[in-house]
Amino acid sequence: MDITYKTNLYCLIGDPVEKSLSPVIHNYSFEKNDIDGVYLNFKIEKNCIRDFVDTVRTLNIKGFNVTIPHKVDIIKYLDKVDEKAKKLGAVNTVKNENGKLIGYNTDGLGYLKMLKEKNVTIDGSKILVIGAGGASRGIIFSLLEERPEKLLILNRTLSKAENIKNELNIEKNITKIETDTLDNKNRDLREYDLVINCTAIGMYPNIEEVPIEIDRLSKKAVITDIIYKPLETKLLKEAKNRGNKVIGGIGMLINQGLLSEEIWTEKDIESTEIINYIKEKIVSD
Ligand code: NAP
């Protein structure tokens, strides 16, 4: 990478950020996609967001990503927030347009793009979402725009699933949204075409855990897990062994990052080679 006086700075802010893969993804992509930029991680504490935003303008940082715990708080420091991010109440991407800071959210879109790449259709489908945290909210929001017939949110804490339903079940939705607790073993789940694990269950180091017993799901369902460490969770291994189509979380992670790059640079970003490179990195780490 040649860094010159013209090179633009991009970054991630959050706390913690030490283990983030974002610099690896973006710096590799900048090189592959011929973008004159460099991407760094900055650990920013809650009481320093305003100072950081001033620095973005002073240094002319062209864009940045926002991760936990600043996705909501950043909004009040921005000049404009895109409609989707506004509805979601969370921003993960900020573009600096001549000093004006504009917020977007690519979290759910990254998941959706991954499904489209794997030829999974959402329109008219029945979807089971396990989990009701930040990632679940972003994914559900994006899925609803694709008009599924029905969506069930299962979560350990029922009130969080209900909150998402109440916030996102806007009048124009044609999707029937239901909620239930994760431990209701009597609920029949065999009608769902697409299953998404949005909980942390099965994530490294607890790789022997599964969010749901595989026998409760249809053998025809597409089973997806947004966890990317490990690349294939126990849920996905069990599903694959009995013939389900399975999709892991690495594609979502990379797509949401590359969608940020598309916003910053207004260029189409090639992703296949980057996904392969990052997969190899994760396995070798
Ligand atoms: P979050 O906001 O903290 O939500 C965590 C979710 O997991 C909640 O639904 C929580 O249930 C549930 N959960 C956690 N431990 C549980 C347990 N032992 N039993 C039952 N439920 C449990 O986190 P998040 O940001 O949504 O992230 C969730 C997962 O997605 C993480 O593994 C994260 O690494 C992954 N992720 C992947 C990507 C990607 O790009 N692939 C992006 C974001 C996140 P309660 O509500 O009951 O606490």
30-70 confidence digits (pLDDT tens) = 999 999 999 999 999 999 999 999 999 999 999 999 998 99
pLDDT, tens digit (0-9, with 9 covering 90-100), for 116-164: 999 999 999 999 999 998 899 999 999 998 999 999 999 999 999 999 9
User: Rounded to the nearest whole angstrom, what is the distance from the C-alpha of residue 67 to the centroid of ligand 1?
Assistant: 14
Whole-number pLDDT of residue 73? 94
Residue nearest to atom 32 of ligand 1 (CA): 200
**Phi first, then psi: what are they for 96, rounded to 5°?**
-100, 105
Which residues carry out catalysis?
A: 71
CA distance 46 to 6: 31
**Residues within a 6 A CB radius of ligand 1:** 131-136, 155-157, 160, 182, 198-201, 203, 226-228, 249, 252-253, 256
Averaged pLDDT of the chain = 93
User: Rounded to the nearest whole angstrom, what is the distance from the C-alpha of residue 130 to the centroid of ligand 1?
Assistant: 9
Cα–Cα distances in angstroms (integers) from residue 282 to residues 49, 114, 232, in the given order? 30, 18, 11
Whole-number pLDDT of residue 273? 86
Annotate 14-49 with b (16+ C-beta within 10 A) or e (fewer): beebeeebbbbbbbbbbeebebebbbebeebeeeeb
Whole-number pLDDT of residue 223? 98
User: Rounded to the nearest whole angstrom, what is the distance from the C-alpha of residue 197 to the centroid of ligand 1?
Assistant: 9
Lowest mean pLDDT among 5-9, 137-141, 255-259, 272-276: 272-276
**Rounded mean pLDDT, 4-15:** 96
Strands, DSSP E only, in the chain? 8-14, 37-43, 63-66, 80-81, 93-97, 100-104, 126-130, 150-155, 176-181, 194-197, 222-225, 245-247
Whole-number pLDDT of residue 167? 84
Whole-number pLDDT of residue 169? 63
**Nearest atom, ligand 1, residue 138 CA:** 26
Whole-number pLDDT of residue 277? 87
Whole-number pLDDT of residue 55? 97
Side-chain-facing half-sphere of 227: CA atoms under 13 Å? 26
pLDDT, tens digit (0-9, with 9 covering 90-100), for 163-221: 999 887 665 668 999 999 999 999 999 999 999 999 999 998 999 999 999 999 999 99
CA distance 54 to 76: 13
Residue nearest to atom 34 of ligand 1 (CA): 227
* pLDDT of 276 over the 90 cut: no
* pLDDT of 20 over the 60 cut: yes
User: Rounded to the nearest whole angstrom, what is the distance from the C-alpha of residue 89 to the centroid of ligand 1?
Assistant: 18
Residue nearest to atom 13 of ligand 1 (CA): 199
Residue nearest to atom 23 of ligand 1 (CA): 133
Whole-number pLDDT of residue 170? 62
* pLDDT of 19 over the 90 cut: no
* pLDDT of 259 over the 90 cut: yes
Cβ atoms of 153 and 99 closer than 8 Å: no
